[in-house]
Chains A and B, each alone.
Chain A
Amino acid sequence: AQSVTQLDSQVPVFEEAPVELRCNYSSSVSVYLFWYVQYPNQGLQLLLKYLSGSTLVESINGFEAEFNKSQTSFHLRKPSVHISDTAEYFCAASNQAGTALIFGKGTTLSVSS
């Protein structure tokens, strides 16, 4: 079955600490991978995507994710988080037909001072 698994439902961290949000995908999905972020009371926004090429992709606000085919993972990392990074993060993959995104259950990142 096509699936995306986010291993942590909640990740609490202190400001300026590093963070990793884990995501694994089943080999039956396509290798078009995405991270979306949802800030409180807002819609889903694309954070970064992997379509092809370099396995390390970066966002404009300091997040990065690495596509690892052998481990079927697409973990999201940031070396130093800010209070403003508090949000829910969703990992997603395009289905084989390219007609829909398959989402993980989401990880709530809570950054405190």
Chain B
Amino acid sequence: GAGVSQSPRYKVTKRGQDVALRCDPISGHVSLYWYRQALGQGPEFLTYFNYEAQQDKSGLPNDRFSAERPEGSISTLTIQRTEQRDSAMYRCASSLGGAKNIQYFGAGTRLSVL
């Protein structure tokens, strides 16, 4: 596609429910990144894929968070048993790979856990 697409744009859920956030990267982009941005803060790294391989998941806060990119394109970030503290903007980015290549961001998914 023309840009990084994230869905849904907004998600409201009740505490304890599972949520799945989707990211469709720019066609041909090898690397895909997930970030979380709390109100008043900058984005914080969650996890990173090269093709379908999850290369770094050091930013995932606990085992309720997981991500996959099974075919090296679309990625899903899943949060199980959501808690109020999970409320944030979740951002996805993609790039051609490597530190010098620009990361292009989607519009984000705003998650609210009630």
Contacts and interface: CB of A to CB of B under 8 A. Distances in A.
Interface in B11-70: 33, 35, 40-45, 48, 55-56, 59
A4 B45 CA distance: 13
Given A30-B99, A32-B100, A49-B102, A90 B42 contact: yes
Contact of A105 (B4, B33, B42, B104): B42
Given A43-B91, A44-B91, A102-B45, A97 B56 contact: yes
Contact of A103 (B43, B48, B99, B102): B43
A99 B55 contact: yes
Interface in B59-98: 59, 91, 93, 98
B112 interface: no
A110 to B, nearest CB: 15
B7 interface: no
B43 to A, nearest CB: 5
Contacts of B42: 4, 6, 90, 92, 103-106
B56 A101 contact: no
B30 to A, nearest CB: 12
B49 to A, nearest CB: 10
Contacts of B35: 101, 103
A101 B108 contact: no
Contacts of B44: 103
A35 to B, nearest CB: 12
Nearest to A32: B99
Interface in A34-74: 34, 36, 42-46, 49, 51
Interface string A21-33: 0000000001010
B105 A44 contact: yes
Nearest to A91: B42
Given A99-B48, A103-B43, 9 more contacts: A43-B107, A97-B56, A98-B100, A99-B56, A99-B99, A101-B103, A103-B42, A103-B44, A106-B42
